[in-house]
Structure 1
Amino acid sequence: MASRRAVVRRVPASGPDDVSGVEALFEEGLDPASVVAVLGKTEGNGCVNDFTRGYATRRFEDLFARHGAGGAAIVMSGGTEGALSPHWTVFAREEVDDEPEGALAIGVARTAAVAAEALGRREHAEMVADGVRRAMADAGVTDAADVHFVQVKCPLLTMARTEAAEARGATTATRDTLKSMGLSRGASALGVAVALGEIEFDRLADDDVCGDYGLFSSCASASSGVELLDNEIVVLGMSAAWSGPLAIDHAVMRDAIDVRSVAAVRERMGPGALVAALAKAEADPSGLVRGRRHTMLDDSDIASTRHARAFVGGALAGLFGETEIYVSGGAEHQGPPGGGPVAIILDRSGS
């Protein structure tokens, strides 16, 4: 019986322009047309002016074009603070003759462009919710309980976009470009929560975005950037219709040092080699971590998202013994305040 099989490869990067490792995978036999997504960690600042994301995206677009392929979701997350290592995680899927046995499933979708006045608001969340449902269908995942990680690459507001909206009589959720990143991530995460049945869309209001942090998704990961205007969505889950050695599960860290929750999931998954670890991180908005004051929100020199990536990245690196970890900063509505989801992909064959 035919089935689909996921292929996941993690490749180090010497810089945001270094796609040589992925090209080597193509030369070794990975079909470029089979690649449906690339998640990357680049060494920029992860803020509005982090152009390493756009640079890396363009390099991958050129790489796929040279090989006559295209259409893959290219999700670049800036910021490799601390000892996090810049790298790419390549997701591909193949049609095989193997008997379905239950394995990692991958689905992708894109939305229409987000109008500047919709960004960070209820309308934005609705767009993402629809996209997540389509990505689940693309993966063949019918039960939301089988979804373990949803990556959304979402846009942000520049002054040019804000002024264009105002010129046509519209009002944006904010005029602060950095704040727009958080609003975009927050609306995207709430869209994931709606699609997975974690919250009801009818009860969602514009003011809930980065307003009511009691609303969140346990599977959402959102990264905003200047390099796109729409939302790119990658759903990772388990499906009985897929085959192969790869499996995924996830934990929800309740705060930035809750590695015990992650370790428990890793133990529950049983033996296997780590293929990828995908995580969210944020500075707890209360200003405290387990009752102790942190200063990440008071630092005027370094954005709190950069502190959080280094902090959580270090904690997870110690747990996994690995620095090539996809840690995305800014976890608005992505897990409980100060915490965030962590997905683990294992190769159950041990290779």
Structure 2
Amino acid sequence: MRIGVHRLAMAHPGDVAALRALVESGEIDPGTIVATIGKTEGNGGANDFTRAYATTILAQYLSTVRKQSAREVEEGVAFVWSGGCEGVLSPHVTVFTREDVPDGAPDGTKRLALSVQRTRDFRPEEVGRVAEAREVAAAVGRALTDLGCGAEDVHYVQVKGPLLTPAGIADAHARGAEVVTTDPNRSKAYARGATALGVALALGEVAAAAVTDDAIATDLSLYSTVASTSAGGELTACEVIVFANSARATSPFRIGHAALSDAIDLAGVRAALRDAGLEFDCEPGESARGRIAAVFAKAEAPVGGMLRGQRTTMLSDADINYERHSRAAVGALIASQTGDSRIFVSGGTEHQTPPGQAPIAAIVAL
């Protein structure tokens, strides 16, 4: 397979001008688009409707050039959006294409491959619980089969799934079912945690017996090192994108990953770039920076609000949610190395690396 990676700036959540230009020039065959991962300037909360708006507009555009209905496009393409472009983070979308060409690179190296999978729709009472984790685990398993690789080859698994909405909560209660929480914003933590544990379960990072309803968003000693999960009210199923380096791929890219020990861990950013194959001494020069195709990271407030012995206000600020603080900080950290603010940084790391840490992955051109 051959994977294409196209990182495109967006003037607003409904901006498809950059993608249209690539389609019209012939650089992108719209029929090969399988996934998009992007940032919008919404608030990132349960009521962030920029994500659904961006999906709607992009699906409508692709429906015209793919000669499909918008619904068929949404069933065939994974649209993952994270709201919140705090600090230097720039609204953008990374478009991934996949062509199933003859297997294997000429030199036998493992190169970037990706597989898009979907779960079934979830009832509100299943969101943030074991049922969701198991369905995500099954989806990751299907992806590994598709890619022809093992867990050790996986460097990044992006999952976007549903959170609880007032309508969903009311529906569950009308049927006599109990939801994990009646707070839509709080449900993000359970939803992210359940899907992250699904990834960990599929990759053998946690034991099946350890994944219980009580453990989700509570026992943070259970985690995946490559999961990056988000939740939004615009979904009812989970979209799962597994990124790996596979011997079946002919792509001109590699992917690597690392963990950020905290929000100012510059060494962690560099470790992810090097793991993807970027060679540099102290920090990437202009030539090396030009090879960085995409960076994906999570952001978290320091445990107890203390960063390397010093107090922060991330967890005590009544005006600005901690996720917005952390996204801004981590975005600036990464941009200082890449020289490009089109970085995907999402908040909330429940079961994604150990507590206080955050995953980071980078795609680099060979």
The TM-score range, normalised by the shorter chain, is over 0.9
Counterpart of 1:215 in structure 2 is 222
| 2:113–2:251 CA contact under 8 A, matched in 1 | no
| Correspondent of 1:21 among 1, 18, 22 | 18
- The superposition leaves residues 305-345 of structure 1 with CA deviations (integer Å, 9 ceiling, x where unpaired) of 11111011111111222101011111111112222111110
Q: Distance in 2 between matches of 1:99 and 1:75?
A: 28
| Correspondent of 2:323 among 288, 302, 305 | 305
Residue 209 of structure 1 aligns to a residue whose secondary structure is coil
Q: Distance in 1 between matches of 2:355 and 2:177?
A: 31
The structural deviation recorded for 1:98 is: 7.6
| Correspondent of 1:173 among 180, 185, 200 | 180
1:151 pairs with 2:158: yes
- The superposition leaves residues 131-169 of structure 1 with CA deviations (integer Å, 9 ceiling, x where unpaired) of 11122223x142101000000011111111111101111
| Correspondent of 1:45 among 28, 34, 43 | 43
The structural deviation recorded for 1:290 is: 2.0
Which consecutive unaligned segments of at least 5 residues does structure 2 have?
A: 280-287
Counterpart of 1:186 in structure 2 is 193
Q: Distance in 2 between matches of 1:325 and 1:218?
A: 19
Q: Distance in 2 between matches of 1:98 and 1:270?
A: 24
Counterpart of 1:85 in structure 2 is 90
Q: Distance in 2 between matches of 1:241 and 1:172?
A: 42
Q: Which aligned pairs between 1:184-333 and structure 2 lie closer than 5 A?
A: 184-268=191-275, 269-271=277-279, 273-333=291-351
| 2:278–2:364 CA contact under 8 A, matched in 1 | no
| 1:104–1:242 CA contact under 8 A, matched in 2 | yes
RMSD: 1.4
Residue type of the partner of 2:91?
A: P
| 2:115–2:242 CA contact under 8 A, matched in 1 | yes
1:339 pairs with 2:346: no
Which consecutive unaligned segments of at least 5 residues does structure 1 have?
A: none
Percent identity, aligned pairs only? 46
Greater alpha carbon shift after TM alignment, 35-44 vs 88-97: 88-97
Q: Distance in 1 between matches of 2:348 and 2:49?
A: 18
- The superposition leaves residues 267-289 of structure 1 with CA deviations (integer Å, 9 ceiling, x where unpaired) of 35234500000101111343222
Residue 45 of structure 1 aligns to a residue whose secondary structure is coil
| Correspondent of 1:11 among 3, 8, 17 | 8
Q: Distance in 2 between matches of 1:228 and 1:267?
A: 35
Counterpart of 1:72 in structure 2 is 77
The structural deviation recorded for 1:245 is: 1.6
Q: Distance in 1 between matches of 2:253 and 2:356?
A: 30
The structural deviation recorded for 1:266 is: 2.1
Task: State the TM-score, normalizing by the size of structure 2.
Answer: 0.91
> Alpha carbons of 1:39 and 1:240: their partners in 2 closer, same or farther (altered >3 Å)?
same
The structural deviation recorded for 1:99 is: 4.8
